[in-house]
């Protein structure tokens, strides 16, 4: 029996000819049809993300229109004169999906502010606030492989929508048929009527000004004589990152030519992720050729940045956890030195981010707040501080996956300000005869070697999704008493919002929103956090080990990974 949704789609006069070809190509293949139609692409707190193609479980103009119609209904139910900002990255069909979203919003009487060209995610967050919009849409799949695209939804605070708003938007989306219930207007007609307008250069300039306001020692960059290799990984960072670096006086910047221009196929880096060494291969090669001091790489939507540092004639990759610790140490120490550290300063990190941050923060009297995985929760906390008139307490926030934010001008991670501060920090320490690896080693010598690693296990298709859910349910219902011969001292179930002291049996509530995450604290001080990815069909395990030296930390991490792989039966 053929899938009813497939039959509905194949009988429609579809506007995108790519979809018609794909639907005809899978005709009669039940497995392929089911994979495209067994569910609707899930709209969570991060919006949509999926493989580009035909079907309800794919990213295409119809799933984008359906989501946008639901979002438009939500806006019109809550505001009489709504406005939405729209931006997009370099991915395949990102510009098309952005225009389709704008057409639906305009057809529903909602004012649309859209960038003329691709722009980073933080620029969308900024535009929402700067233009007093009720919501925002960013078309991106961040660092996913080329076959993916996505759609992030933002609230009026410039932060990705969190649980309550996402549930309300989702309810509206579910009530919409992607063909019969969607209003659409011609893009050019909407422009002429003033329903759609392009975001002007004054907004970009205001964004740059806010980024530059986070500088602490910008004058040192030009004096440093630093040589930099930069790669935007064929994404949105090319213009804004280079503009900011130019404004702080960093003139010797060599851009990886193969990765300079926007290209959603990512032919030289199949995984355009600055966490992955392979994505940085061309940049590292160019560093060797030019003798540069630093490699800087931003992901396609330019909200995350990775680096490699020249150290003893080699280039050492620095992890997201390590860069975050270096930045907090730099910001806190220098703001204290300059007398600009606020009263009761505060830094924010996620529950899967290194505890080294706690050691650094304690030295400078900075409060550390832990939030769930996802930068939207850091943005949400900034908003709560703002409501109390305390936003100046926030000095820095970051997550282990290479996302950083200094300042409160946006409510999402920002690789533009991250790039600026990394280069400035490197110049500051170079002025003292040190590089970033030297400073990192000093932190480890002072506080112990904090090793944080992550392993991922993929679960493709419907069967994979069911298996992933079954694994998480089994772990939750049958919590392990010991792992690898070491007793579990504490077990946190963030979905049930309960923390259990396994030695005393005492339970206490977790004051965070419900989330499908489990944390195991072992008696030897090691920790592991397990969660399904919010953007990919994967289970992720994060390991945390603190030892005096790196060698002993890595040996313990290896055994920890073996033990947990057995526990998950993977």
pLDDT tens digits, one per residue of 235-291: 999 999 999 999 999 989 999 999 999 999 999 998 999 999 999 999 999 999 999
Q: How far apart are CA 413 and CA 397, in angstroms?
A: 8
Catalytic residue selected from 90, 125, 142, 224: 142
pLDDT, mean over the chain: 94
Task: HSE, CB side, 13 Å, CA atoms: give it for residue 170.
Answer: 17
Q: Report pLDDT digits (tens) over 120-162.
A: 999 999 999 999 999 999 999 988 899 999 999 999 999 999 8
> Mean of the pLDDT values across residues 163-170?
89
The angle formed by the CA atoms of residues 116, 120 and 126, to the nearest 5 degrees, is: 85
Please answer whether residues 354 and 418 qualify as being in contact, where contact means their C-beta atoms are separated by less than 8 angstroms. Answer: no
Residue 381 has pLDDT above 70, yes or no: yes
Annotation says 142 is catalytic: yes
CA dist list (Å): 18 to 24, 146, 325, 512: 10, 16, 46, 43
At residue 185, φ and ψ (nearest 5 deg) are: -125, 150
CB burial of 216-249 (b: ≥16 within 10 Å; e: otherwise) equals: bbbebbeebebbbbbbbbbbbbbebbbebbebbb
Query: How many helices and strands in the chain, by DSSP H and E?
Result: 19, 23
* Ordered domains of the chain (ranges, CATH): 4-199 (3.40.120.10), 208-447 (3.40.120.10), 449-568 (3.30.310.50)
Q: Which residues contact 500 (CB under 8 A, 6 or more apart)?
A: 479, 490, 491, 492, 493, 506, 507
pTM for the model? 0.94
Q: Report pLDDT digits (tens) over 412-459.
A: 999 999 999 999 999 999 999 999 999 999 999 999 999 999 998 888
pLDDT confidence band for 308 (50 / 70 / 90): very high
Nearest C-alpha neighbor of 294 from the set 441, 435, 444, 443 = 435
> Mean of the pLDDT values across residues 170-175?
94
Residue 570 has pLDDT above 70, yes or no: no
Q: Report pLDDT digits (tens) over 484-506.
A: 888 999 999 999 999 999 989 99
Residue 45 has pLDDT above 70, yes or no: no
Structure tokens at 224: 């440093």
Residue 564 has pLDDT above 90, yes or no: no
DSSP 229: E
In the prediction, which pLDDT does 468 show? 86
Q: How far apart are CA 415 and CA 399, in angstroms?
A: 12
Q: Report pLDDT digits (tens) over 344-380.
A: 999 999 999 999 999 999 999 999 999 998 899 999 9
CB burial of 508-526 (b: ≥16 within 10 Å; e: otherwise) equals: eebeeeebebbbbbbeeeb
Q: Report pLDDT digits (tens) over 516-526.
A: 999 999 999 99
In the prediction, which pLDDT does 463 show? 80
Could you tell me the strand order of the sheet in which 228-231 lies?
253-255, 228-231, 294-298, 305-311, 314-318
DSSP 104-163: HHHHTT-EEEE-SS---HHHHHHHHHHTT-SEEEEE--TTS-TTEEEEEEEETTSSB--H
């Amino acid at each position: 029996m053929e899938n009813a949704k497939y039959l509905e789609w194949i009988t429609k006069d579809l506007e995108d000819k790519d979809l018609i070809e794909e639907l005809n190509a899978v005709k009669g293949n039940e497995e392929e049809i089911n994979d495209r139609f067994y569910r609707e692409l899930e709209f969570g707190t991060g919006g949509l993300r999926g493989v580009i193609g035909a079907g309800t479980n794919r990213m295409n103009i119809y799933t984008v229109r359906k989501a946008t119609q639901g979002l438009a209904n939500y806006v019109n139910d809550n505001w009489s004169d709504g406005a939405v900002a729209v931006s997009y990255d370099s991915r395949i069909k990102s510009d098309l999906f952005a225009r389709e979203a704008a057409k639906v919003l305009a057809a529903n009487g909602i004012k649309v502010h859209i960038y003329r060209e691709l722009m980073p995610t933080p620029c969308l967050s900024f535009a929402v606030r700067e233009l007093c919009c009720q919501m925002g849409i960013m078309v991106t799949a961040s660092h996913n492989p080329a076959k993916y695209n996505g759609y992030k939804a933002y609230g009026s605070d410039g932060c990705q929508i969190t649980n309550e708003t996402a549930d309300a938007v989702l309810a509206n989306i579910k009530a919409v048929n992607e063909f019969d219930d969607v209003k659409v207007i011609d893009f050019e007609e909407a422009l002429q009527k003033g329903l759609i307008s392009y975001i002007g250069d004054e907004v970009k300039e205001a964004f740059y000004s806010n980024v530059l306001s986070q500088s602490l020692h910008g004058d040192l960059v030009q004096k440093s004589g630093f040589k930099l290799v930069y790669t935007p990984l064929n994404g949105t960072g090319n213009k804004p990152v280079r503009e900011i670096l130019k404004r702080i006086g960093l003139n010797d910047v060599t851009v990886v030519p193969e990765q300079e221009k926007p290209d959603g196929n990512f032919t030289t880096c199949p995984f355009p992720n600055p966490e992955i060494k392979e994505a940085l291969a061309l940049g590292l090669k160019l560093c060797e050729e030019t003798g540069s001091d630093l490699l800087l790489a931003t992901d396609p939507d330019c909200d995350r940045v990775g680096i490699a540092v020249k150290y003893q004639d080699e280039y050492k990759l620095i992890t997201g956890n390590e860069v975050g610790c270096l930045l907090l140490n730099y910001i806190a120490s220098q703001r204290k030195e300059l007398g600009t550290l606020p009263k009761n300063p505060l830094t924010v990190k996620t529950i899967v981010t290194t505890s080294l941050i706690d050691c650094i923060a304690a030295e400078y009297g900075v409060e550390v707040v832990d939030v769930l995985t996802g930068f939207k929760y850091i943005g949400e906390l900034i908003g709560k501080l703002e409501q109390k008139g305390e936003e100046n307490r926030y000095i820095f926030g970051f997550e282990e996956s290479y996302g950083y934010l200094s300042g409160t001008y946006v409510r999402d991670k920002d690789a533009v300000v991250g790039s600026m501060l990394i280069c400035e920090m490197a110049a500051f320490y170079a002025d003292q005869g040190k590089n970033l690896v030297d400073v990192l080693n000093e932190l480890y010598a002072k506080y112990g070697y904090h090793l944080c690693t992550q392993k991922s296990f993929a679960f493709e298709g419907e069967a994979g999704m069911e298996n992933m859910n079954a694994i998480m349910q089994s772990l939750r219902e049958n919590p392990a008493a010991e792992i690898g011969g070491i007793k579990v001292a504490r077990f946190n179930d963030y979905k049930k919002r309960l923390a259990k002291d396994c030695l005393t049996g005492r339970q206490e509530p977790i004051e965070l929103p419900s989330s499908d995450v489990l944390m195991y604290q072992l008696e030897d001080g090691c920790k592991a956090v397990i969660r399904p990815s919010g953007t990919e069909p994967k289970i992720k395990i994060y390991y945390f080990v603190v030892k005096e030296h790196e060698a002993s930390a890595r040996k313990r991490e290896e055994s920890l990974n073996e033990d947990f792989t057995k526990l998950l039966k993977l």
